Amino acid sequence: MTTTPTALLAMGPGIAERLFTPVQRERLTALVDTDPALVAHRLTAPEPEVAAALAEAELLITCWGAPPLTADVLAAAPRLRAVVHAAGSVKHHITPACWERGVQVASAAGANALPVAEYTLAAILFAGKNVLPAAHRYRQLRAPHDWRAELDGHGNYRRCVGIVGASRIGRRVIELLRPFDLDVLLFDPYVDAGAAARLGAARTGLDELCARSRIVSVHAPELPATRHLIGAAQLAAMADGTTLINTSRGSLIDEDALLPELVAGRLNAVLDVTEPEVPAPGSPLYELPNVLLTPHVAGSLGDEIHRLADCALDEVARYVNGVPFADPVTPQDLARMA
Tens digit of each residue's pLDDT (9 = 90 or more) over 304-321: 999 999 999 999 999 999
| Same domain assignment for residues 158 and 307 | no
Residue pLDDT, tens place only, 117-172: 999 999 999 999 999 889 999 999 999 999 999 899 899 999 999 999 999 999 99
Cα–Cα distance, 236 to 246 (Å, whole number) = 17
Task: Give the confidence band of 2 by pLDDT, cuts at 50, 70, 90.
Answer: low
Instruction: Please say whether the beta carbons of 183 and 161 come within 8 A.
Output: yes
| Same domain assignment for residues 93 and 152 | no
Q: How many structural domains are present in the chain?
A: 2
Q: From the candidates 17, 47, 175, 277, give the one annotated as an active-site residue.
A: 277
Q: Residue 9's pLDDT is what? A: 98
| Secondary element (H or E) of residue 316 | helix 305-320
The residues near 199 (Cβ < 8 Å, ≥ 6 apart) are: 166, 171, 174, 175, 186, 191
| Same domain assignment for residues 65 and 125 | no
Helix axes 109-128, 305-320, angle to 10 degrees: 150
Q: Residue 219's pLDDT is what? A: 97
The pTM of the whole model exceeds 0.85: yes
Q: Does residue 338 belong to any structural domain of this protein?
A: no
| Same domain assignment for residues 155 and 255 | yes
* 115 pLDDT more than 70: yes
CATH number, domain at 131?
3.40.50.720
- Average pLDDT in the 91-96 region? 94
Q: From the candidates 101, 137, 296, 336, give the one annotated as an active-site residue.
A: 296
Residue pLDDT, tens place only, 231-262: 999 999 999 999 999 999 999 999 999 999 99
Q: Residue 332's pLDDT is what? A: 84
Residues in the chain: 338
> Which range of residues forms the domain containing residue 119?
112-291
The residues near 75 (Cβ < 8 Å, ≥ 6 apart) are: none
Q: Among this protein's residues, is 178 annotated catalytic?
A: no
Q: From the candidates 159, 172, 219, 249, give the one annotated as an active-site residue.
A: 249
| Same domain assignment for residues 10 and 30 | yes
Q: Among this protein's residues, is 219 annotated catalytic?
A: no
Instruction: Please say whether the beta carbons of 12 and 41 come within 8 A.
Output: yes
Q: Among this protein's residues, is 296 annotated catalytic?
A: yes
